[in-house]
Structure formats: C-alpha cells, structure tokens
Structure 1
Amino acid sequence: MSTPNHQATILELLGKYFKKTLQPHQYQPILTDLRRCHPELLRDCLVEAVEATDKDPAAPPEEPSRAALMRIYNRKTKEMAAMFPFLMATEGALRGQLACEMYRIFGTDQWWLPYCAALNSGKEFKDVTAINGVPVPGSKFSNSVGKIIMSINAKDGKNAATITCGLEFLSEATFGQLRYLGEHSWAQIMQVFRGKKGDIPQIVKQDFINLTKEILDMRNDLYHHRPISNQQKCVEACERLLDHFDHHLGAFDHAISQAVYVRPEFKVDRKPRHDIIVAV
C-alpha cells in the first residue's frame, strides 16, 4: 500500500527507532494512531529518539515505544509554546520603541501620511524627501514605510491614511517590516541601542540586523508550526534587545511561571478512541 511522502519518511524513521522493518499490519495502525500529530514535529521527535538510541545502543535512555515518542512530542510542544511570550515581549517592545522614535524624529504621530499622499497622486514612495519638514533617512526607509502602507491597504476595510496613532500604524506591520524600518533608519534611532559602559553592551547596526534575523527565523518557524532549532540563540537575541528597553527577560519568565490563570474548559468528552496505543 502506497503512502504520502511525509508518511514514508516517518515509516523509515520508525524502522530505525524500533530497529526492525515494520510490516503493514504493524505500521498502518501506528500511522492511524499518529495521524493526529503534527507531521513535521513528529518527524523531529523521531529524529531525536533515533539519535538518542544511536548514542548508546547498549543502554538506550528509554525503551522504544509510542508512549516514549509522545513524551518527546509533548515536551517539544511545550518548548515551542514557551517561546511565544519571549517573542511577544520583544516584538511588542520594538513596536513601541519605533513608534516613539518616529514621533521624536518627525515631530508628528502620523509621519507616514506623506507616503499615503504620494500613493494617491501616483508618485513613488521614494519621491517623498521630507516629513513634517524633516529629511527622510533615505529611499530604503521610504520603501519600508511604503510596504507597510500597501499591506495595510490590502486588508478589507483598512486604510493607512485614516490611522491616527503611530503605534496603531506599526501594529499593522509584520516583524520583518519592523526590522527593515529599524535597519533603514538606524542613524536616527541608534541612540536607543548605544548602551552604557559596564552595564549594557552597545548594539551596532549589524548586531541589530543579526539579532532581529534570529528572532524572525524563530518567529516564522513557530507561527508556521515548524519544529524549532537554536532556541537558546533566539532567547539570547531577545534578551539583548530587551535589555536596551530596560526589560529583563529572565525576570519576565519567572513572573510568568508564577502567574495563575483560568485554564479553558473542554466540552468534548474523553473516549477510548482518543487514547489509542498500538504495541509494536
């Protein structure tokens, strides 16, 4: 019986994990059992399980089983979920800082309106040379703002020209768009990242580009439900940026761990079909 390519990959990994070639009567129930799992995350769990077994084949850390795989799967799911507060904190702080900086630079909370006017009159965004009498940082900055405007206007019922708050405007931007806005106005905003000797290490433009790229890659993996890698590097990138905003990520993580919240109610009754376990 043929299987989709992603299931064929999982079957191959299952064979390595259980150290034997599985027969159809063995692997079909397993595929049925595991079909409810996220395929890419399940594949990542199998890779980890196989690697752990290969490191010490004489004494594997855990007897190969579906339950052992699910423990890895659940841990990885929790690790992914744990990254969301860090990304949310970093992205939110960067939006707020850029909103304040744009207001400081141009002296208006609607600094993008000249670009809206250019768009309405058939001009190019690069034709805008000043905002409220202040020279723009350059054509790349103008194109960055223009892309945010275009993405806002592409949404039903949205029009960038009617937004009156700078933070609201930047809240419509993706993290990637925020990143480019910061990069292309670096000379104007670099004071935020100047640092303090013996306290906060300075972040230069290339640091900003590299740190935000690390965060962007992690964000894209998480938001598309792909297994994550380099978790620690992303945490360190978030830490460095937030430190310049006087936000301590470790303290934030501790506060979250102590927070009590009302868990959601689950209305679907648990039945035997929810707990299928197939022995191999």
Structure 2
Amino acid sequence: MPQTKPGALIDIDPERLLDFLLRFATTQTSVGVQTSRIVVNTTRVAHAYGYELTIMMFQRNITMTLMPATSDNTEASHISRAQHPVTGMIRHRHLPLNFFLNAELSRLSWYTYDHHPSLEELEDRFEAIVTSPPVNRWLILFLISLANMAFCFLFGGDLGSGLCVFAGTLCGFFVRQELNARHVYPYLVICVSAFVASFVVGLGAKLGLEANPEIALGTSVLYLIPGVPFINGMMDLLDGFMLNGISRLMTAVMIVISITVGLSCTLMMLNLSLL
C-alpha cells in the first residue's frame, strides 16, 4: 500500500487528535491487524490534518509522537512553528478478532484523507464502527462447530467421528465464550477449552462411536489454532517490525502449548492415543 503525503496543516487541537490516533491504532491491534497496516492507516489520518506521526509499538502498549509537517505555505509554516510535538501512550485493548472492524477502520482512514472531516465527525464515525452490534454468539457457536465437523470429514473422518467433533467443539467453544466473558486468564481459557472439546470426542471413542478416533481427536481442537497470530507475526518480521513479530509468534506458541496441555490431559485421563 503506497504511503500518503501530509496535506495542509489544519488548525485543530493536536492533543485531541493524538488521543484519537492512539485509540484508533490500539483498536486495530486488538482486532487482528498486522503492524504495517496499523502504521499506514494511522499515519494516513495524521497526514489528512497536516501532521507527521512517529509510532512505537509493543505487545502491551503503543507510543506516538505527533508533530506538524513542514510546508512551503507561509500561513501553514507559521502555524507549524507555533506548535510543538506532543507524545502519548496507551495500553492495547483486548478484543476478539474482527475482520469487519479491520476493513471499516481502514476505510475510515481513507475517508479522512479524502474528505478532511472535523474531529467531531471523525470521532463519531469511529464510535459508530467500534460500537456496531456483534454477530450473534449462538450463530458463531453453531457455525464454528459445523466448520470443525467439516474439517473432520475433510481429513477422512466417518459420520460418527464428525458428529462427535461437532458436539465436542460445541461444548468447548461454549466454555471458551463463558470464560472469556468472565475475563479468565487467556491461556487457561485455551487449555480448558481444548480439554473439554477433546474430552467429549474422547468419550465418543471410548463408547465405540467413532471409526477414526485419532482423526476426531486431532480435529476437535482445530478451532483453537492461532492462525492470525502466526500470520501477523510472520508478516511483521518480513516488514521489519522484529519485536512485534517475535512477540506475536511467541503468543501463538503459548496458545499451541496451552492446546497441547488440554489435549494431553484428555489422552491421559481416558488412556487414549493419537498414534
């Protein structure tokens, strides 16, 4: 995506603009946007008002410095000399992955660059996006269970294995939703969810309901695989954001370890094997 150039400096409160940019950037981080896209989108908004932006991002917080862009225009240069850089820091929010917000926030940055709305309008549009109603949790629960069952069939599982995977995913993901609503430690949530899903499938294997128990057990926890952290981590490394890339990859590794612990507990308790 091409970088944008700063426009004419607009006489607005830089601290208020910086506060918006901090919230704008950390919301993108929370919903699964890679670092390079966050930097481009946020810088584009700053450029729309004639400011340069320097961003320093870490796993838990983000720091920005906003400064007036240099200009050959006499009036804009006068405003620029009268202002000083402002710096702020904010902690990242914790939100579920949301590709709708991902796309809408990027679209908002282009709207800002093209139309230069007032800060009041920009903040109203931002709030309308982030407060948009989420998808029904029961629909998500059903569709994810159905998708995991489809994975079981894709890898060669029989009808009994697929139905057990559907039931296991339904139980495991429901537990995950409830624990997340209670703000339980994230890795413990993954571990317990993997255990519940695999335990239901393991019971099906013990009762002889599955012709391919190893396939059913393996696919019962696929809904927990951290695909987005792995992809974003690799993209950050390739884009040169080494610290962010390493931290995201380590988060993905910790999730995989949590899944392994939960699945291992099922295998030991039911005396099963994936081999």
Under a length normalisation based on structure 2, what TM-score does the superposition of the two structures give? 0.28
The structure with the largest strand share of the pair is 2
Structure of larger gyration radius: 1
